[in-house]
């Protein structure tokens, strides 16, 4: 009886000491590191920070009005993506564009997006079509306004919407991280290529609305593969942005 009483007392004590947790807010406010990263990422992709630009933690922290720790964390994340070269006791610099990294990023992105498109078409609804068409209208306006940065954002948003419709929104984060090396080349090409990209999107949209998965897959693959065909022309025109070793070995 005494043992039973002790067991009951122990069970009661354990019940009273359970950790009480509240639901996590999934609409998380971005951290300071996230905001620093986003600011630097966009400046690098849009070539405001050109390859070879020297970066200082102290200077960036001062300009953004933050402490050095989130800048250090953002620098590390950018270095892991291959955008920054961090060397002890030497200046951190923006890396040049690597053609081999662009091709690898294209391969990974294509593999993920082809499956995403298949799932999105299986889940497609009138509301999904409406979201995509609203994005397309905004793309057309961005081209008319010659707003390359806005078009770049809308281009990404279209693919992100497809991930959401597919029921796999987290896939976009993986795609975004892996396509980073493509983005500077894409931005260089937007002066001439935004209209072509828009036309690709129009072709993809027509096949999606027709419910033709095979045709949509063909159009999507063609769209994602376009960078493979234009990168040499872009490198010839903007050689200063690319790795010199690759140019000598080309």
SS3 annotation, 109-124: HHHHHHHHHHHHHHHC
Residues 6+ apart with CB under 8 A from 203: 219, 223
Whether 177 has a pLDDT exceeding 50, the answer reads yes
Mode of pairing for the β-strands spanning 54-55 and 92-94: antiparallel
Q: Which pLDDT band, with edges at 50, 70 and 90, does 248 fall under?
A: very low
Output the pLDDT for position 24: 44
Q: Is the pLDDT confidence value at 190 over 80? A: no
Q: Edge to edge, what strands does the sheet with 54-55 contain?
A: 54-55, 92-94, 84-85
Residue (of 75, 41, 52, 33) closest to 187 by Cα position: 41
Does residue 101 surpass a pLDDT of 60?
Answer: yes
Phi, psi of 237 (to 5 degrees): -85, -30
**32-94 and 99-249 have identical folds:** no
Average pLDDT over all residues of the chain: 88
- Where do the domains of the chain lie? 32-94, 99-249
Which of the four CATH numbers 1.10.10.10, 1.10.150.120, 3.20.20.450, 1.10.645.10 does domain 32-94 have?
1.10.10.10
Check residue 90 and give its pLDDT. Answer: 87
Predicted confidence (pLDDT) per residue in 45-78, tens digit: 888 999 999 999 999 999 999 999 999 999 999 9
Looking at domain 99-249, its CATH superfamily turns out to be: GntR ligand-binding domain-like (1.20.120.530)
pLDDT at res. 249: 41
């Amino acid at each position: 009886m005494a043992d039973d009483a002790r067991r009951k007392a122990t069970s009661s004590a354990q019940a009273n000491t359970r950790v009480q947790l509240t639901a996590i807010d999934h609409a998380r406010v971005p951290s300071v590191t996230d905001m620093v990263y986003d600011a630097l990422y966009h400046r690098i992709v849009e070539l405001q920070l050109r390859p070879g630009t020297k970066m200082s933690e102290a200077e960036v922290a001062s300009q953004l009005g933050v402490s050095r720790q989130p800048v250090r964390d953002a620098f590390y994340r950018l270095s892991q993506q291959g955008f920054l070269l961090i060397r002890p006791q030497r200046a951190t610099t923006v890396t040049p564009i690597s053609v081999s990294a662009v091709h690898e990023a294209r391969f990974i992105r294509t593999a993920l997006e082809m499956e995403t498109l298949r799932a999105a078409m299986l889940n497609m609804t009138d509301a999904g079509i409406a979201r995509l068409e609203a994005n397309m209208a905004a793309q057309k306006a961005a081209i008319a306004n010659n707003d390359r940065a806005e078009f770049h954002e809308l281009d990404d948003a279209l693919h992100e919407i497809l991930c959401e419709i597919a029921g796999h929104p987290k896939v976009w984060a993986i795609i975004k991280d892996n396509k980073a090396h493509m983005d500077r080349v894409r931005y260089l090409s937007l002066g001439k290529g935004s209209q072509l990209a828009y036309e690709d999107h129009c072709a993809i949209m027509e096949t999606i609305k027709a419910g033709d998965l095979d045709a949509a897959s063909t159009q999507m693959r063609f769209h994602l593969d376009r960078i493979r065909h234009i990168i040499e022309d872009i490198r010839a025109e903007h050689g200063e942005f690319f790795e010199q070793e690759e140019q000598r070995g080309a």
